[in-house]
Amino acid sequence: MIYIKRVSTKDPRFSGRKIEVVASAIGTTLGNQITVPDAVVLCNGCNKNIYPEDGYLIYLEKRELDKDWPYDFYCERCVKEYFPGAKEV
């Protein structure tokens, strides 16, 4: 069963994020971190910035829900389209 959990895009889990880009070759590793602004929270379905609206964390199994290990984050429109049978918790 797929579970969805409504959360605010202002939730602390969306603050202080960074993307790390790493390239590696034999004997060499290069990396760079890119700071993601707190006001940028993208839907994984339509790639729209949904800040400051609420969105949904997607959990593919009960175990992931219990451990708060979400699969991804979607806006309301994409949740209805891609996860119509999901159970809201």
pLDDT at 69: 97
pLDDT of residue 27: 86
Q: pTM for the complete prediction?
A: 0.85
Query: What's residue 75's pLDDT?
Result: 98
pLDDT at residue 29 in the model: 87
State the chain's maximal CA–CA distance in angstroms: 49
Q: What is the 3-state secondary structure (H, E, C) of 21-47?
A: EEEEECCEEEEEEEEECCCCCECCCCC
Regions of the chain with pLDDT less than 70: none
